[in-house]
Structure 1
């Protein structure tokens, strides 16, 4: 994932972050840009996609639905931009329709 390009004349909010990463981590600019792109992509994932992906991953590890839905709800609450609190029923509907 690459960092989205800005429109001509628009301020670039990513440049200060890239400069900070290059100065403090030893990454070169291309590596820092890739890391920022990965982080942006992670946080861009929609709630429904996140819930389905995490449900499948936790189910594959042998967890049962009550524990999965409790864990996913807690994870959603910790996201940088947290969605509204979802009940177990709402989470179940996202997964199973």
Structure 2
């Protein structure tokens, strides 16, 4: 079992967390003018790199707060976690 370091609660087992997708995806400025194809691209298309990647995680079985994690997708190792109000992490 892998431990994930919640920025508020400290290290907890990974079963307490839910994956929230790619971090830093901006919401469209005017979603009402998007075509169906553009909206689908916003909702479903995400980067899928091999290596360091910024992600959103939720401590769903703990404090229920969202945070950003830098994780290596090849090794699954969490390199760093930060609160959403912290400066944007660099990958």
By the TM > 0.5 criterion, same fold?
no
Kindly indicate which of the two structures has a greater share of residues assigned to strand.
2
Higher RCO (CA 8 Å, separation ≥ 6 residues): 2
TM-score of the aligned structures, taking structure 1 as reference length: 0.20
Greater fraction helix: 1
Structure with higher Rg: it is 1
TM-score by length of 2: 0.21
